[in-house]
């Protein structure tokens, strides 16, 4: 099988990242740049992101090799996220990785970005007692919001997902309405510390309904209506803090309700895993922990640097898929172009 070490590249959004993992999945080095240049636009600009990946990757990959004390020839194979994500950045990262693999005469392995988030919890030493299959994954980021039954490597069932916005997008938009910087999630969580989560009544979309789909656009609209009377005037600080706390509480209530249903849909799960940038939110984490404990399950959320986009998860997913293919006697997924 395509033996390690693996050099992995992540470029699906605004993080340019490279990591080198041993064949066993031990991270030997990693470098990540969270691109600036998007904040003034209040969101990731795909064209700017793609060009920045192009400018950053050669130096970043070299720095990662240097940090691992390795020459390119010592790499076993090269992997990259090839989707889903912003297409310009994905093309830059995947083309760079393929070019590197070709020049070294090593295999290239394409990695599905969501699969990489899904398998992160299985990184050696991350979850006490390990993350054995099957488990329930809640993926909540700026671009994704879904409940996935992770039955095995390459065996995933989407139990539910958002019918409009992703949770992180809602956090970012609400933060923008409150005049906070971008990305909005961390800033909103900080402001909410000073607020009362029960101060301002807000809807809980889809709560109490069957299934585990999500909806956040109505919550966003309800919040914007609370702001309307202020027009262009600055918001009183306490009001803004109360809004932030009430919004965060509404999201946590909805997610707890949806995950409770998802767990009923997957009674064989013994572990609940949260991943994606929004899983960094401590109020949300606490609620998920509560729900899991109530259902007699373990709960795990990777540390923040592995929750948000990174290349370690890409390398790990590549190792897992290659290992699985070898175990099943399938052709190696090398020189694949996409894993949709």
Kindly tell me which of 88 and 186 has the beta carbon lying closer to ligand KG4.
186
Q: Which stretch binds ligand KG4 (CB under 6 A): 121-129, 167-175, 197-205, 237-245?
A: 167-175
Binders of ligand KG4 among residues 186 to 225 (CB under 6 A) are: 186, 189
Q: Is 139 annotated as a binding residue?
A: yes
Q: Which stretch binds ligand KG4 (CB under 6 A): 86-94, 154-162, 215-223, 275-283?
A: 275-283
Q: Is 309 annotated as a binding residue?
A: yes
Residue 234's alpha-carbon distances to 163, 170, 177, in angstroms, are: 32, 21, 11
Binding site for Zn ion (CB under 5 A): 141, 309
- Asked if 83 touches ligand KG4 (CB under 6 A), the answer is no
Kindly tell me which of 138 and 244 has the beta carbon lying closer to Zn ion.
138
Q: Which helix (H) or strand (E) holds 252?
A: helix 237-265
| 70 φ/ψ angles, rounded to the nearest 5 degrees | -125, 155
Which residue of this chain has its Cβ atom nearest to Zn ion in the complex?
309
Q: Is the dihedral of CA 22, 90, 301, 1 positive or negative?
A: negative
DSSP track, 124-169: TTSSTT--PSSEEEEEESSS-EEEEEEEETTEEEEEEEBSS--HHH
Chain position carrying tokens 């080095």 = 29
All residues at 6 or more sequence positions from 332 whose CB lies less than 8 Å from its CB, including other chains: 1, 2, 107, 109, 322, 325, 326
Kindly tell me which of 104 and 178 has the beta carbon lying closer to ligand KG4.
178
Q: Is 117 annotated as a binding residue?
A: yes
- Asked if 93 touches ligand KG4 (CB under 6 A), the answer is no
Q: How far is the CB of 183 from ligand KG4 (least distance, A)?
A: 4
Q: Is 26 annotated as a binding residue?
A: no
- Asked if 315 touches ligand KG4 (CB under 6 A), the answer is no
Kindly tell me which of 30 and 141 has the beta carbon lying closer to Zn ion.
141
Angle at 115 between CA 129 and CA 263, to 5 degrees: 60
- Asked if 172 touches ligand KG4 (CB under 6 A), the answer is yes
Which of the choices Zn ion, ligand KG4, none does residue 242 contact, using the CB cut-off of 5 to 8 A by kind?
none
The residue within the footprint of ligand KG4, chosen from 4, 277, 302, 315 (CB under 6 A), is 277
> Could you give the CA distance from residue 302 to residue 340 in angstroms, rounded to a whole number?
24
Q: DSSP letter at 231?
A: T
Q: How far is the CB of 170 from Zn ion (least distance, A)?
A: 16
Neighbours of 48 (CB within 10 A): 17
- Asked if 10 touches ligand KG4 (CB under 6 A), the answer is no
> Could you give the CA distance from residue 138 to residue 74 in angstroms, rounded to a whole number?
36
> Could you give the CA distance from residue 33 to residue 50 in angstroms, rounded to a whole number?
13
Write each residue from 292 to 311 as x if it is in contact with ligand KG4 (CB under 6 A), else as -, in one continuous string: ----------------xx--
Q: How far is the CB of 168 from Zn ion (least distance, A)?
A: 9
> Could you give the CA distance from residue 98 to residue 304 in angstroms, rounded to a whole number?
29
Feature table: binding site for Fe cation: 113, 117, 309
Q: Which residues of the shown chain bind ligand KG4 in the complex (CB under 6 A)? A: 13, 141-143, 168, 171-172, 183-186, 189, 276-278, 280-281, 308-309
């Amino acid at each position: 099988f395509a033996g390690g070490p693996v050099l992995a590249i992540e470029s699906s959004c605004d993080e340019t990242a490279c990591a080198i993992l041993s064949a066993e999945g031990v991270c030997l080095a990693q470098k990540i740049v969270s691109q600036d240049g998007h904040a003034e636009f209040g969101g990731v600009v795909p064209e700017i992101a793609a060009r920045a990946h192009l400018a950053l990757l050669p130096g970043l990959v070299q720095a990662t090799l240097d940090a691992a004390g390795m020459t390119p020839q010592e790499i076993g194979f090269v992997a990259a996220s090839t989707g889903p994500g912003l297409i310009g950045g994905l093309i830059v990262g995947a083309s760079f990785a393929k070019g590197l693999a070709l020049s070294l005469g090593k295999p290239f392995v394409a990695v599905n970005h969501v699969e990489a988030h899904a398998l992160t919890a299985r990184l050696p030493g991350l979850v006490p007692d390990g993350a054995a299959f099957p488990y329930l994954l809640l993926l909540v980021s700026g671009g994704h919001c879904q409940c996935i039954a992770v039955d095995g490597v390459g065996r995933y069932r989407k139990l539910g997902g958002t019918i409009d916005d992703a949770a992180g997008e809602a956090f970012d938009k609400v933060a923008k309405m409150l005049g906070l910087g971008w990305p909005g999630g961390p800033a909103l969580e900080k402001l909410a510390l000073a607020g009362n989560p029960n101060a301002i009544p807000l809807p809980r979309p889809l709560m109490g309904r069957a299934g585990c789909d999500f909806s956040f656009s109505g919550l966003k609209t309800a919040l914007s209506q609370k702001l309307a009377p202020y027009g262009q005037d600055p918001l009183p600080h306490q009001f803004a803090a109360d809004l932030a706390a009430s919004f965060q509480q509404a999201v946590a209530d909805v997610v707890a309700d949806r995950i409770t249903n998802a767990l009923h849909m997957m009674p064989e799960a013994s572990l609940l895993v949260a991943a994606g940038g929004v899983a960094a939110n401590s109020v949300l984490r606490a609620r998920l922990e509560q729900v899991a404990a109530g259902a007699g399950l373990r709960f795990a959320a990777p540390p923040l640097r592995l929750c948000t986009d990174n290349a370690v998860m890409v390398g790990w997913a590549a190792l897992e898929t290659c290992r699985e293919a070898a175990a099943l006697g399938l052709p190696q997924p090398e020189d694949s172009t996409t894993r949709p």
